Structure 1
Amino acid sequence: MSHLLGEFECKLDTKGRLMIPAGLRKQMPEAEKDGLVVNRGFEKHLVIYGRKEWDGIMEDLSKLNPFEEKNRQFIRYFMRGATDLSLDAAGRILLPKSLLDYAGVNADVTLSSQFNKIELWAKDAYDAQLDNVPENFSKLAQEVMGNAERKRVDV
């Protein structure tokens, strides 16, 4: 599941199931076989990873020194609520209630593709965040990307 593309508005059913949009399912054919993992995001949202991506993150975390308190704290918080997901025959996933509560998700959600993962937001929280556009987006782009080693032609 790499370089996913798209933003999708969806609805959860009353049981907390989410139908993965067909356009997104086509981009991650391994999800049906390997499954997905959902976890808390750094802001009040959820993040959905493909199994291989999640395993890579776990490999990185396993290299942290467990004798350092900040590492233990980070691992505990990062892993809190992580849950395996399987697509059912209808292409739905069942999201844990505890994670939905954490993200403030009710029925309306936005799925936002982020390279190798999918962010799942309560629609109103996602809209509010994106309505807060930086005053000078060009300046932000320069600060974030201006010194990055460029391998492609500028846009």
Structure 2
Amino acid sequence: MFMGEYHHNIDQKGRMIIPAKFRDLLGDSFVLTRGLDQCLFGYPHEEWKALENKLKTLPFTKKDARAFTRFFFSGATECEVDKQGRVNIAPPLRDYAKLDKECVVIGVSNRFEIWSLENWETYFAASEESFAEIAESMIDFDM
């Protein structure tokens, strides 16, 4: 399971260190794609395959299903982790997520996300205010 928040820089060549705890779960390579909320989603191959199978069941006759799968799969790329624990993030993905220098890598259960520091701080501040309300409407913590 991916969890935690880590701060790393991306260099001018588009390389960024993946947190060591995440590398243990990812192995030598993983899939990185456009995520929601202007961040990137990273998946171990096993999770990517499960997601791919789930998305294959969407009806291609539905416009929204076609749009989402195009958006999601067209941005997907396999990333290899080098000996220093870095990956090279493709320019289109860096542009989409506005990754310039300071980045935040967060664990989100079966995937991880890469955010620009600015986008993460903006998103977190906006979400923090409504976190209790969101939790109340979605989850019963008194299980």
TM-score using structure 2 length: 0.89
In the TM superposition, what whole-angstrom CA distance separates every residue of 1:53-85 from its partner, at most 9, and x where no partner exists?
A: 111111111222323333222211221211011
* Structure 1: gaps spanning 5 or more residues: 151-155
Residue 85, structure 1, aligned to residue 79, structure 2: yes
- 1:118 corresponds to which letter in structure 2? F
Aligned to 1:134, which of 129, 136, 143? Answer: 129
The 1:66/1:149 distance shift into structure 2, 3 A limit, reads farther
Q: Distance in 2 between matches of 1:78 and 1:20?
A: 21
Aligned to 1:101: 95
Q: Is the 8 A contact 1:31 1:51 kept in 2?
A: no
Aligned to 1:5: 3
Shift of 1:149: 9.0
In the TM superposition, what whole-angstrom CA distance separates every residue of 1:96-122 from its partner, at most 9, and x where no partner exists?
A: 011100111101100010001111000
Aligned to 2:119, which of 115, 121, 125? Answer: 125
Q: Distance in 1 between matches of 2:54 and 2:125?
A: 34
- 2:9 corresponds to which letter in structure 1? K
Aligned to 2:27: 31
Aligned to 1:62, which of 51, 56, 61? Answer: 56
Aligned to 2:70: 76
Return the index of the structure with the highest Cα Rg. Answer: 1
Q: Where in structure 1 do 4 or more consecutive aligned residues deviate above 4 Å?
A: none
Q: Is the 8 A contact 1:66 1:72 kept in 2?
A: yes
Q: Distance in 2 between matches of 1:54 and 1:24?
A: 15
Alignment coverage as a number of residue pairs: 142
TM-score using structure 1 length: 0.83
Aligned CA RMSD, in angstroms, stands at 1.8
* Structure 2: gaps spanning 5 or more residues: none
SS in 2 for 1:134: helix
Q: Distance in 2 between matches of 1:91 and 1:105?
A: 18
